[in-house]
Homo-oligomer: A and B are copies of this chain.
Amino acid sequence: MEFEQAWLDYSRKCSCEGTDGIEAVFVGIADDRQDILIKNSVAELQRAFVGLFGRELAVHTGAPVGDGICLALREGMQAEAYHIYEDGGKISIEASDSRGILYGVFALLRHMQTENSLRGLNLTKAPVMPMRMLDHWDNMDGSIERGYSGKSFFFEDNEILVNDRTVTYARLAASVGINAVVINNVNVKDAATWLITERYTDKVRALSEVFAGYGIKMYLCLNYAAPMELGELASADPLAEEVRGWWKKQMAFVFREVPNLGGFLIKADSEGRPGPFTYGRTHADGANMLAEAVAPYGGKIIWRCFVYNCQQDWRDEKTDRARSGYDNFIGLDGTFLDNVILQIKNGPMDFQVREPVHPLFGGLTKTNQMLEVQIAQEYTGQQRHVCYLIPMFREILAFHTYVAKECDTVEDIVCGRTFGQKNCGMAAVANTGNDENWTGHDMAAANWYGFGRLAFEPELSAEEIAREWIRLTFGREEQVEETLLYILMTSWRAYENYNAPLGIGWMVNPNEHYGPSVDGYEYSRWGTYHRADHLGIGVDRSGAGTGYALLYREPNASIYNDKERCPDKLLLFFHHMPYTWKLKSGKTVIQHIYDTHFEGVEMVDEMVERFRKLQGKLPKKPYQRMLERFLHQKEHAREWRDQINTYFYRKSGIADERGRKIY
């Protein structure tokens, strides 16, 4: 398929000083340490040089003779780290393991494509987060839950696919440092039940070996009730001996058959999925039982904290879904085994365009934690709107939890700096599918690229990451770069502007989660309300309300709890406010709603206007594909603007100060 190489497309000729003399790869690595990763590293260099420079690289084993790229293993470096340096025309890539070599190769290629020279190159990088994971919500029938880029490339008609596309996927993921991939949907039981059985082991192993070649551990989602469905046990009680025995036996089987398996991801006791609650057991009981079963094989259990009552009565103002993750897990802090990791969504609700940071970050102090974000743009435009999420992720990572005097940000926690943990990191719900360009919207690929880069090097700015992605994907033409950069860097703010205001979220059409519906979730069972009436809007989560604000450490708790100090952008999440309330910006809430919604549309108009000027400067097919989506976004942003403004104008009766058209 065309465009299938995404940012690894080597067909555009590259100009980079210092590459001319490079004619060979010297593999200075003992034969017995030349594993498949080293082979794939060399092959990647060869492939790239043919494409970028029209030159076949020779491969030599042993000490270098003349200019070339030298690969060498060196003791004493951090795992997965690499050191690249130029010395008199010779380029060395050194690492203490073959994964580091592979990352070094991709880093070198990235440098050649995005910069002008190799002269004086001297780069040492170690991945900052131990786990950098993609979670796919692919189903065995080939569909993808919340997939906006076509069908699955892992599954089709209940079979596992292992083919060229799998290899390209693994290369793309590895090139940005991804080292763990969950292939099946955490929300659906079929694959989660059957992938650990004999029926699928051959293909599961084959797929895991493709990943292994690129330093990626494969993970599976697991059905907590598997002992009942597969083992014909009467229970899945984590404290029952026969259940524990069943899991141990089953795990011995699975890890023998699939040695590259990293472990399992589990959603238990949430949104209808089974779990330990059924047996009066805790999440820790459930997770630890599985952790014991996988420990002999170095396996990990990743346990989702997305647990809440999804049968809430909208009339009930006491129950607060935002509290539920915290309330369910905080009491279990310190009771999980070391190979258990809690996977915590960035916010307490569900991947809205704006949420406060999840209070479990900073709450938990003795538990391995992983930050879960969603690059599948479920609530952020479904890859029909452009919405570059890296700026949002950086804000989340930079959030001070005040759990410690130093190293107290979310980034510190999930990098292991706060508590010295190793089993931690960041996971993203993936945005890929079988569409030619992988992500539906060509620009959505920046989120995939960016997520990996950010997890590897969180010190990179969103803009730096965006520039890299643009250069790798579309070359170094200045207008292209500046235009696409402008669009990416504007997009999240634009989307937030025309979406639900001031952190309240959820004004989407039920189920599909696309397009505006202000009351779409207002009278439903999902715990997602805005409580707007003719005088005001927002949920009182202060101490006088549900108390959610007080779950944070000080000074966050006091700030959020106080409507005068709460940041504007989260005000309606924490407080029910009159439309006439003056924000810190000096605007009233209602005027803020009107202004941001008009501004959001203007921002999209500007994005599209600039984009149109790239006609002829971008390849025709991606240009057309993007243009079509931009035109839809233009219209759909107006739909958001008009529905939301109209809703609040009709409800409040307060006119726009500037007299613009509201229906």
Contact = CB atoms under 8 A, between A and B. Distances in A.
Interface of A: 314-315, 509-510, 516-519, 523, 532-535, 639, 642-643, 646-647, 649-653, 663
Given A315-B642, A315-B663, A642-B315, A650 B523 contact: no
8 contacts: A509-B510, A517-B519, A519-B647, A533-B649, A533-B651, A534-B650, A534-B653, A535-B653
A534 B315 contact: no
A534 B643 contact: no
A643 B523 contact: yes
A646 B314 CA distance: 11
Contacts of A646: 523
A447 B443 CA distance: 55
Contacts of A533: 649-651, 653
B517 A523 contact: yes
Contacts of A518: 519
Contacts of A647: 519
**Number of copies of this chain that the complex holds:** 2
A534 B647 CA distance: 10
Contacts of A517: 519, 523
A532 B639 CA distance: 18
Nearest to A535: B653
A601 to B, nearest CB: 14
A210 to B, nearest CB: 39
Nearest to A515: B523
Given A519-B647, A523-B643, A533-B649, 15 more contacts: A315-B642, A516-B523, A517-B523, A519-B519, A523-B646, A532-B650, A533-B651, A533-B653, A534-B534, A534-B650, A534-B651, A534-B652, A534-B653, A535-B653, A651-B651
A647 B533 CA distance: 8
A651 B647 CA distance: 10
A107 to B, nearest CB: 49
A642 B519 CA distance: 14
A534 B639 CA distance: 21
A621 B663 CA distance: 53
A509 B525 CA distance: 14
A50 to B, nearest CB: 50
A647 B509 CA distance: 18
A608 to B, nearest CB: 21
A434 B547 CA distance: 52
B651 A650 contact: yes
Contacts of A535: 653
Contacts of A653: 533-535
A269 to B, nearest CB: 25
A519 B646 CA distance: 12
A422 to B, nearest CB: 48
Nearest to A314: B663
A650 B533 CA distance: 4
Contacts of A523: 516-517, 639, 643, 646
A409 B510 CA distance: 43
A498 to B, nearest CB: 14
A81 to B, nearest CB: 53
Contacts of A642: 315
Contacts of A649: 533
Nearest to A317: B663
Contacts of A652: 534
A533 B643 CA distance: 13
A374 to B, nearest CB: 25
A650 B518 CA distance: 14
Contacts of A534: 534, 650-653
A545 to B, nearest CB: 15
A128 to B, nearest CB: 45
A608 B81 CA distance: 72
A561 to B, nearest CB: 25
Contacts of A509: 510
| Max chain B Cβ within 10 angstroms of own Cβ: one of A519, A523, A532, A652 | A523
The 5 tightest CB contacts between A and B, nearest first, are: A533-B650, A534-B653, A519-B519, A523-B643, A315-B663
